[in-house]
Amino acid sequence: MARKRLIAAALATLVLGAAGRAFAASATVEVPMRDPWVPPEAAKKARVEPASRGATLAQEVDRKLRARFDAAAGPSGRLTREGAQAAGLGFIAQHFDAIDRRHAGRVSYEDYRQFLLSRGAHLE
């Protein structure tokens, strides 16, 4: 009698185990991955623009560099080492002597751009 109960329990375990695995396989729900730092509501509102490439990227970089330079240089369009440092343009301040090829003490955006191009920048 105990043997029949043991066999029945083993059989029930096998059947329920197989049924449970079948249910788990059919109940799998795939959820699309999303950025864990952005709440879904904010992600829906955010407009995603495709990344710039090639000439468009070069123009965008040139435009942003010019905007920062012009904001620091003011109406004269020329920037001194001290002005670059004060405006947070440390790269220009550190490389000022190389950018200022005429040794005038002031550089224009075109001087800065030519320096970047000579160093391998792709701004065109």
Q: Radius of gyration of the chain from Cα atoms?
A: 33
**H or E segment at 83?**
helix 81-86
**Given a cut of 80, is residue 17 above it in pLDDT?**
no
Secondary structure E strands in 1-124:
78-79, 107-108
For domain 54-118, give the CATH number.
1.10.238
**Given a cut of 60, is residue 100 above it in pLDDT?**
yes
Domains in the chain: boundaries: 2-45, 54-118
| Whole-structure pTM value | 0.57
pLDDT given at position 14: 57
- Residue at 105: amino acid letter: G
Tens-digit pLDDT profile for residues 52-98: 777 888 888 889 999 999 999 999 999 999 999 999 999 999 999 99
User: Can you tell me the distance from the alpha carbon of 108 to that of 98, in angstroms, rounded to the nearest whole number?
Assistant: 13
Residue 80: both structure tokens together: 């001194």
User: Can you tell me the distance from the alpha carbon of 106 to that of 124, in angstroms, rounded to the nearest whole number?
Assistant: 24
